[in-house]
Amino acid sequence: MKNEELADAIIKNIGGTENIESLIHCVTRLRFVLKDESLAQDKTIGNLDGVISVVKSGGQYQVVIGNKVGTIYDAIMNKYQIKGQDDDVKEKTSDNQEKQNLFNRFVHMIIAIVGPMIGVIATAGILKGLTALLTSIHVISNTSSTYTILYAISDAMFYFLPVLVGFSAAKYFKANQYIGAGLGLALCYPTLVQAYSAGKAMNFFGIPVVLANYTSSLFPVIFAVWLMAITEKYLNKHVSDSIKSIIVPFLAFLVGILPTLIIAGPILTYVSQLLSKLVLGIYNFAPVVAGVILGAFWQVIVIFGLHYAFIPVLMNNITTLHYDPINAILTVTVFAQMGGALGVWLKSKQTKTKNIAGAAAFSAFLGVTEPAIYGISLKFKRVFAMTFIGGGIGGAIMTLMNAKMYSFGANGIFSGPLYINPKALIIVYGFYYRRRCFINCNDYFDISIWL
The span from the CA of 168 to the CA of 312, in Å, is: 14
How would you list the strands of the sheet with 29-34, edge to edge? Answer: 20-25, 29-34, 60-64, 53-57
Residues found in the chain: 451
Q: Where are the alpha helices (DSSP H) in 206-308?
A: 219-238, 241-259, 265-285, 287-303
Distance of CA 414 to CAs 140, 334, 407, 424, Å? 20, 12, 12, 20
Contacts (Cβ under 8 Å, ≥6 apart) of 402: 325
The span from the CA of 451 to the CA of 449, in Å, is: 6
Q: Find the catalytic residue in 26, 188, 437, 441.
A: 26
Distance of CA 346 to CAs 136, 207, 355, 429, Å? 37, 68, 11, 43
DSSP assigned state of 312: H
Phi, psi (degrees; rounded to nearest 5) at 60: -125, 150
Residue 434, amino acid: R
Q: Is residue 26 among the annotated active site residues? A: yes
Cα angle for residues 286, 292, 298 (degrees, 5° grid): 120
Nearest to 188 by CA among 151, 224, 150: 224
Positions marked catalytic = 26
